[in-house]
Chains A and B, each alone.
Chain A
Amino acid sequence: MNRVLFGHLWRSQRTKLVIASIAMAAWNVFLPVIYQSFGQQMKALIDSGIIPKQFTNFGGGDVFSLPGSIALGYVHPIAIILVSIFAIGFATSAVAGERQRGTLEVVLARPLSRRSLYLTELAATLVLIGIVLVAASVGTLVGCALAGVLGELAVERLPLLWINGMLLWGTIGAIALATSVSFDRLTPALGITLAIVIVSYFLEILGSLWPDAKGLQPYSLFHYLMSRDVLGGTIDPFAFGILAVVGAMAIVVALVVFPRRDLAAPS
């Protein structure tokens, strides 16, 4: 890892990081408040049968329990977009974007190995994702305190939820970086990463809403984000392991592919 490059990446992302973290915290403040304000009324609505029962389990989250509302916060498109700023946007442009702009050439003309460059970009991606997820945890705590439901929250399990989130988004970040080091242009790297994430998300949501599609969920990375279970005290090491293995595979692929690639002159 290269300290100077890391510092440069940090400085280039810090404004975006502050905005994304504040937005993530605000979003997670919102959900315990919704649970406390409308959860019981909405539960009555669901129990009446007007709304299908499956909507109580959107991607493993709901607003009828505190763990369910927090889980919904993690799997909701708003949270996904906020983390994706770094897990997909930053990671895919880390190499392919710099190649396309021509600036990678200037950096790699320095005594910096491609592995070192990749590992620094990976570290930066993980740190940026980690901070956004810390903001989510802080938002959850503040939201619970504001809603007066802090007593219902198993605060000691928030670090485990953070680790689970890091494994999911770190894996997505590693996949994004693996595509980034494999292409000379941003569009294919971004397209492939987005396709993986969207299909994965679609499989998880489809399986959670439609019982017949439940068998597709294990093929989704989002299936292994078990926020409600983690907050409820149930930890599935297999889920953590799957994410860790997929992430490690993406890292190995990038470490093998990137140093062996020819970096022709930017067109």
Chain B
Amino acid sequence: MDAVSTTALTKRYPHHELPPERLARRLRGEPRNDVLALEDLSIAVREGEIFGFLGPNGAGKSTTIRLLLGFLHPSSGGGQVMGLDIVRDSVAIRARVGYLPGGIALYDTLSGERLLDYLGELTGRPSVRRAELLDRLELSTRTLQRPVRDYSRGMRQKIGIIQALQHDPELAILDEPTEGLDPLMQRAFYAILDDLKAAGRTIFFSSHVLSEVERVCDRVAIVRRGRLVALQDVASLLEHRKRNVELRAAPGEAIHLDGVAGVSGVKQAADGRITCQLEGDVGPFLAAIAGHRISDLTIEPAHLEEAFLELYQDAEPGDPAAGVSAAGASPAGVTSR
């Protein structure tokens, strides 16, 4: 069973217009000009994986999360979370999910401890992970006694993470979870995610920090203008990306890389420095440089950022379908599973 699955999930918002505008449009016989926030989203998140959900602001990430949790009602299509219908069983879904909203708002007058107690009691499940999370995120008992209004942004985010995970949910939906955390705490948070994954929990991770998605996620879905652009393993997404190569040949060495499989954009400088892009199998490239005297060689790993930008540049701005068809036409594009 998938932890999350959606089928042609679509959300339209009515376009806000003043009554005279609405009347004029009706008199002209024009249809409603709805805003399409999410269109035909079909994804499946496997149990026990860390699933990255990527896209810039306004791409439809939060809309998807809010549909999964029952805050929004789908215009068409549907979905299931833990085998439960997102429309009919939304209360039962929320009993099994931990949710960290993006830019979380907390009750400022409560102390951190009282807030966590309150939210834990509302969940109706014991807060079995709280002590461990407090320890790993370095929130002391003394800090928890202070009112939330005195907390820094990072401390608020830590409280947000703890309230989402303290009851050890089967599925954690985390929207921009490292926002406001310092690098040390980000590392501690990634370790927490690793442990949750090891314990068989599923993480739905929405972010636009590509480096962290690349670091923690097993698979990613990329959305653009409310439509799915790609859904793939992070590893296979990176496999097809070009790596930047820079090598420096010893004086008098002539290395010819033109025509070598997977190598492109070869540039040779007068000082013996050669730069190129390398895609796919590194074997032909290594064979081509073997036997030559090389004083320095750097192969930069492919980053998700390049894959992300490439997918976004495939489409003409203002044409939502273009991005989908470009990716969908490619074998490396949209794959439902």
Q: State the A residues within 8 Å of B (CB).
A: 2, 4-5, 8, 12, 101-103, 105-113, 260, 262-266
Contact of A265 among B62, B90, B107, B124 (CB under 8 A): B62
Pair B105/A109 contact, Cβ less than 8 Å = no
Question: In the complex the two chains form, is B122's CB within 8 Å of A107's CB?
Answer: yes
Which residue of the partner chain A has the closest CB to B125?
A111
Identity of the chain B residue whose Cβ is nearest the Cβ of A266 in the assembled complex: B105
When the two chains form the complex, which single residue of A102, A107, A109, A113 contacts B69, counting CB atoms closer than 8 Å? A109
Instruction: Judge whether A4 and B69 touch: CB under 8 Å.
Output: no
Q: Which residue of A lies closest to B95 (CB)?
A: A111
In the assembled complex, B123 has its CB within 8 A of some CB on chain A: yes
- Which residue of chain A lies nearest to B92 when distances are taken between CB atoms in the complex? A111
B288 located at the interface, meaning its Cβ lies under 8 Å from any Cβ of chain A in the complex? no
With A103-B105, A265-B62 already in contact, the answer to whether A4 and B72 are too (CB < 8 A) is: no
Q: Does B106 contact A (CB under 8 A)?
A: yes
A2: which B residues are within 8 A, CB to CB? 122
| Known contacts A263-B66, A263-B72, A265-B66; A105/B101 CB under 8 A | yes
Q: Which residues of B contact A107 (CB under 8 A)?
A: 119, 122
Contact with A along B1-29 (1 / 0, CB 8 A): 00000000000010000000000000000
Indicate whether A105 sits within 8 Å of B118 (C-beta atoms), given known contacts A111-B92, A262-B72, A262-B73. Answer: no
Beta-carbon nearest neighbor of A265 in chain B: B62
CB distance from B163 to the nearest CB of A (A): 7
In the assembled complex, the CB of A98 is this many whole angstroms from the nearest CB of chain B, namely: 9
Residues of A within 8 A of B105 (CB): 101-103, 105-106, 266
Cα of A160 to Cα of B122 in the assembled complex, Å: 37
Q: Which residues of A contact B63 (CB under 8 A)?
A: 265
In the complex, the answer to whether B121 meets A4 with C-beta atoms within 8 Å is yes
Q: What is the chain B residue whose CB lies nearest that of A5? A: B122
Q: Which 7 A-B pairs have the closest CB atoms?
A: A102-B105, A111-B95, A109-B99, A110-B122, A263-B71, A4-B121, A265-B62
Give Cα A4–Cα B123 distance, bound, in whole angstroms. Answer: 10
Docked Cα-Cα span, A264 to B16, in Å, equals 14
Q: Mark B94-133, 1 if CB is under 8 A from A, else 0.
A: 1101010111111101000000001101111000000000
Chain A residues within an 8 Å CB radius of B104: 102, 105-106
Complex Cα distance, B92 from A42, in Å, reads: 65
Let me know if B66 and A264 touch, CB within 8 A. Answer: yes
Query: Does B254 sit at the interface, judged by CB under 8 A?
Result: no
Whether B91 is near chain A, meaning CB under 8 Å from some CB there, is: yes
Q: Are A112 and B103 in contact (CB under 8 A)?
A: no
User: A5 to nearest B CB, angstroms?
Assistant: 7
Contact present for B94 and A262 (CB under 8 Å)? no
B63, chain A: closest CB distance, angstroms? 8
A2 to B118, CA, bound (A): 12
* Contact in complex: A106, B123 (CB < 8 Å): no
Residues of A within 8 A of B13 (CB): 262, 264
Q: Which residues of A contact B92 (CB under 8 A)?
A: 111
Evaluate contact between A110 and B94: CB separation under 8 angstroms.
yes
Per the bound structure, the CA–CA distance linking A102 and B160 in Å amounts to: 13
Chain B 69-87, CB within 8 Å of chain A: the 1/0 string?
Answer: 1011100000000000000
When the two chains form their complex, are residues A8 and B118 in contact, meaning their CB atoms are under 8 A apart? yes
**In contact, A12 and B101 (Cβ under 8 angstroms):** no
